[in-house]
Amino acid sequence: MTAKAHAVFWDMDGTLIDTEDLHYEVIRDWCAGHGYVLTDEGNEALIAKTMQEKWQILKPLLGSAGSEALFRKECEDWYIERLTDDKGLERALVIVRALAEKGVFQACVSNGEDAVVRANVEILGLTEMFSFLVTGKDCEHGKPAPDPYLLAASKAGFEPTECIAVEDSSVGMAAARAAGCIVCGWPLDPEATADVDYLLKTGEEFPYDLLD
């Protein structure tokens, strides 16, 4: 039997907010300004990666153009400038709000840049609902390593086995599984299968009963 849970950790991109196209647009435009054409296919390798990891992938393709610091700062600034309030995924946000009303401990665990994640949280109106954020700056190794979820559990004061992690990507699900969390998978493809404890398709499958 799955243990009772005391906290819910939410991934950001693809789970709470649909900004994959915005991330691509920003990085594509930055690369174009530095002499490299980033295609849809090339972007596939960047999805769910930290900005440091994205830079390591892009650096050989850019030659001597730009720098990691410039890449990260300008992409962060452009993303925040272009972010709009219509990107939220209501299927997940309704669960966050319901849990907040019940007083359930919640936090966000993301590979994203700190300022970007905070901008997302603010524009979604979740600032008061999350006790803290774990972002790309907080761990040397981001997802799929378990480190972000292990850190979140430690900060929350619970065992990972007492924490529900909600993820949309295989990278995030692997991180939550490796950390020992109760894993809720909300894959982009509703017919997909994954190594999860709960496969979410509509949101009605969310294990509220574990939090009673």
AA identity, residue 82 = R
- What's the order of all strands across the beta sheet hosting 163-167? 133-134, 105-109, 7-10, 163-167, 182-185, 198-199
Domain chopping of the chain, boundaries: 7-18+87-211, 20-82
Task: Mention every residue, 6+ apart, whose C-beta is less than 8 A from residue 41.
Answer: none
DSSP per residue, 115-131: HHHHHHHHHTT-TTT-S
Q: How far apart are CA 71 and CA 142, in angstroms?
A: 19
Counting as low any pLDDT under 50, the low residues of the chain are: 1
Comparing CA positions, the residue from 126, 179, 187, 119 lying closest to residue 152 is 179
Q: Which two tokens stand for residue 70?
A: 């410039």
What's the gap between Cα 25 and its chain centre?
18
Q: For 7-18+87-211, CATH number? A: 3.40.50.1000
Q: How far apart are CA 30 and CA 74, in angstroms?
A: 8
pTM above 0.95, yes or no: no
Q: Which two tokens stand for residue 188?
A: 């982009």
* Residues 152-161: tens digit of each pLDDT: 999 999 999 9
* Alpha-carbon torsion angle 112, 117, 120, 126, nearest 10: 130
DSSP per residue, 175-195: HHHHHTPEEEE--SSTT---S
Confidence (pLDDT) at 50: 84
Confidence (pLDDT) at 1: 45
Q: Determine if the peptide bond prior to 144 is cis (ω within 30°).
A: yes
How distant, in Å, are the alpha carbons of 28, 106, 130, 174 from that of 41? 12, 35, 34, 23
Indicate the DSSP class of residue 46: G
